[in-house]
A and B are shown apart, each in its own frame.
Chain A
């Protein structure tokens, strides 16, 4: 099997070690015996979404987020067609704001989003920066990570996660993220696939399945990754319990 990965705005939306997701995923797939190629796609590049088996987009500064948004608008229709057609895509950090209807900044100015989904984002005066534990019905274990962002999302109706610790899509929500077909979006920043072996395996299976439903996925565990995950989960669970007991 051969798989092609597109790292969208690799040089612009890479603020929190997002390259880790690409490294971990491509190695995990290569360890399956799959031939993996990774390509970056950025401002001004010709991108053919139909040519990829997986697309990843990460987080950036608010200004970089707008640069990416303006550029991505050129590809809006092809991207929509690809996602509707089942393209496996992961969006992390503030990149999820690009896919909604609009983004409203702290001065009340709004910018039109790609409008692929029916939510919008509003930036807050205080930045949202916190550790998180989320639960997903499709993962056997909880997800650990961190959010560091300017905005809140409103109007998502197909969430990805339930909040156990930390913050949700907005301050009144105990849900987070967006799921549509094989599109997975979350405000969680950085190397989410490195931190969470179960999510890495889930995404890998999804990519493989979207390419060939007959292909047999091999269980390949990296013990260090699992131990690191258990350490993080137990640390954050303790943290959650100590805060809730205060």
Chain B
């Protein structure tokens, strides 16, 4: 009886919320309050895919959902912004019938890494994808090893793990487990012998803390590693990227399945590879997966194009407090041909909480912008001076750098200072995205 009431109430609240344009976590939150084990009382489909990790989980979950839907699956999916237990509860109660049965072919659940242990109490995924574990929002996460323990607490032997073999930390979850599928990128012409980043989180084995050996790196500490002391190593991936062609804009999985790239970056490849892996495990044929993923356009909210008098511009979301996310965007920019302008905006560090913590600015490889074609660099927002001081230590010619602390002055600065005829790339976080978009609109 209670179950029925809670289900009906959640559905009504969800509908009311949708009309008012409210977020999707409130109905689930109330449902969990009224009936804390409501999720355990539901009948769920067998095919549950859960996705967590530091970077790429939203994009990967979206890709998995899209491939499955395009291939005839009826899918329940918690889209962006509802990846805590409340959001999962809202989704499941919304799509269940009044008896609590979720009649779907598959569920695709993105779960915030800090909430996995709560969600896993009630929901056992058939496939559990961990994209990677990086330094991310350390003001609230502490550090990656803590996040690892939180996720690992919820892992049980009956789950089939889908792991990134190139990440020494998250791949450790597969140790001693039978049901693991690894995905990864094999050595290619972009691989390097040495780690040139500000820090190396793979310097010591995450399992036994002996010094780790690397055969090559893709970026930061992501690559091929092995520990002589305990044997922890990169496993040969069952789903491997065997070739990357950034000029053409494509990559190949297992030597035969080619996928074209709309956005040419390593992290896009990892997300697509993880989606390919999961869809394959769920029985979708490789050609059909490739057809769905070819030229996949990353969600509009993450990459936005705009135009100023100086020419075309593109905003790329790089998460604050996440140096690897920034490094990936910086690599994308420096991989472009022709002269360009780079704009970095740090105005609020987070949209969810207040902090003045900026140590992560020193973990980012801003030195990558010490490149001939990066003609102009504009540092903007409340932390522009701090960025300016950080850039003083990059060796980049200071004549190329402008500091614009007030975002109201930014569009004029781009307009006046951006290199003519070159593209402008704006890097910022969700916390500052809208501020920039508003200024672009006002300017146009």
Contact = CB atoms under 8 A, between A and B. Distances in A.
Contact of A16 (B144, B200, B359, B389): B359
Contacts, number: 110
B249 interface: no
A67 B389 contact: no
Contacts of A43: 204, 211
Interface in A10-48: 11-12, 14-20, 23-24, 27, 43-44
B362 A222 contact: no
Nearest to B140: A129
Nearest to B401: A224
A224 B392 contact: yes
A225 B358 CA distance: 13
B110 to A, nearest CB: 25
A17 B359 contact: yes
Contact of A144 (B138, B356, B388, B403): B356
B334 to A, nearest CB: 21
A124 to B, nearest CB: 12
A150 B393 CA distance: 31
A225 B106 CA distance: 53
Contacts of A225: 385, 389
Contact of A19 (B362, B392, B403): B362
Q: Range of interface residues on chain A?
A: 35 or more
A195 B357 CA distance: 10
Contacts of B146: 61, 127
A231 B385 contact: yes
Interface string B124-159: 000000000001001110111110000000000000
Given A23-B393, A194-B389, A129 B359 contact: no
B444 interface: no
Contacts of A20: 359, 361-362, 390, 393
B359 A189 contact: yes
A17 B356 contact: no
Nearest to B391: A224
A143 B359 CA distance: 15
A63 B145 contact: yes
Contacts of A19: 198-199, 362-363
Contacts of B140: 129
Given A62-B145, A225-B389, A239-B356, 14 more contacts: A11-B200, A16-B363, A17-B198, A17-B359, A19-B198, A19-B362, A67-B204, A129-B139, A129-B140, A146-B359, A190-B358, A194-B362, A222-B389, A222-B392
9 contacts: A20-B362, A23-B393, A27-B393, A44-B211, A61-B143, A148-B357, A190-B358, A195-B358, A222-B392
